[in-house]
Amino acid sequence: MLSIIIPTLNEEKYLPKLLDSVKNQSFKDYEIVVADYNSKDKTRQLAKKYGCRIVKGGKPPIARNNGAKAAKGGILFFIDADCIMGKDFLKKSLDEIKRKNLDAAGCYVWPLGKRIVDKIAFALFNFWIYATQFFYPHAPGSGIFCKKSVHEKIRGFDEKIRLSEDMDYVRRAGKHGKFRILSSVRTYTSMRRFDSEGRFNLFSKLFFSGLHRLLFGEIKTDKFKYGFNYKK
């Protein structure tokens, strides 16, 4: 069984789109675990309507770890609530994981929108995670597969990290098993964070935070503020 784990905080606008994309998958042997951080909107009601199990959430690393603890599947798939999956995403992903004998995997991500600047930025990011997968793995929280045994071995996401805990997670997972970026699939993400913060501000923040990680290690303070939820 595959366990799909989704952190949520007031996601009534986006969660149904993701759950519809899951429901339409050809692969059906999955459960959905929603780790909710006390949403004030209809997130929980919608999750129940779609048959999801709901567990206590928190900031993304805490929510993902809580979801993983409750998961019944041997493979975990972490995805953000404002993403969607393409047709046959799960089947293609699991087939590639099995074919390549992977213990953990990331996915390319593509923007939901028509702005050329966004597509260029995501194309560059996808090239970056492709190029670094063999020696310094990177993968966004918009799509990470990991065997539950490996997740437990590395003790899950580091809950002390304030930014890019997903990048730290796959780097550690890659040390305890075979990691690759899946070539057959991609996830699609909303641009709400870019719309809320502004593209220049967010690109700058991501660039300098990435540089900080390379030079000084993981970010465990609020030096780079990066919100969990944006009401867009």
pLDDT digits (tens, 9 = 90+) for 23-43: 999 999 999 999 999 999 999
Domains of the chain: 2-216 (3.90.550.10)
- Give me the residue label for tokens 């065997």: 147
Predicted TM-score of the model (pTM): 0.88
Please name which of 183, 3, 173, 1 lies closest in space to residue 100, comparing C-alpha atoms.
183
In this structure, what DSSP letter does residue 163 have? B
Mean pLDDT of 50-57: 98
Residue 184, strand partner residues = none
Query: Do the Cβ atoms of 212 and 220 come closer than 8 Å?
Result: no
Query: Do the Cβ atoms of 107 and 180 come closer than 8 Å?
Result: no
pLDDT digits (tens, 9 = 90+) for 60-102: 999 999 999 999 999 999 999 999 999 999 999 999 999 999 9
Mean pLDDT of 53-62: 97
Query: Do the Cβ atoms of 88 and 25 come closer than 8 Å?
Result: yes
pLDDT digits (tens, 9 = 90+) for 93-142: 999 999 999 999 999 999 998 899 999 999 999 999 999 999 989 899 99
